[in-house]
Structure 1
Amino acid sequence: MSEKFTATDDNRTYSFFLINQDSGQITIDMYNSAYTFIKKEAGWINHINNKMVMAPNLINAVIEALP
């Protein structure tokens, strides 16, 4: 795994690992669940193949936490 990051949404803090990052796609592991996000004109969204759907505000917090 790569470096551990934290994202804060409202008053909650979430830990996650960055798996892969490129200009149009990011994959993370948060609490043993993989999430992939796709960059669209309106911002980052859940990949259609994600087993679980992450809330848009938490996606934004994850993106802000990345270098």
Structure 2
Amino acid sequence: MTMILVSSTLQIRRHEYSGDLNIVILVMFVAYVLCRFMLLTLMIRPLFLLSGEPFSWIPYVLAI
């Protein structure tokens, strides 16, 4: 009986920890995606505004 209790307690603790870990991983992933989007926006905007042709900035973005 005590072995089952210890086993189930360990599973609950593991589950709680993995839930916290999943939140941390999700927050880091969202932060990475947002930073990447902001970087691309900062790079594309000047190229788009300064160039005479509307899509001449595409090769610069694809080279990243």
Category of TM-score, reference length = shorter chain: under 0.3
- Higher RCO (CA < 8 A, seq sep 6+): 1
Question: Normalization by structure 1: what TM-score?
Answer: 0.24
Judging by fraction of residues, say which structure has more helix: 2
Higher alpha-carbon Rg:
2
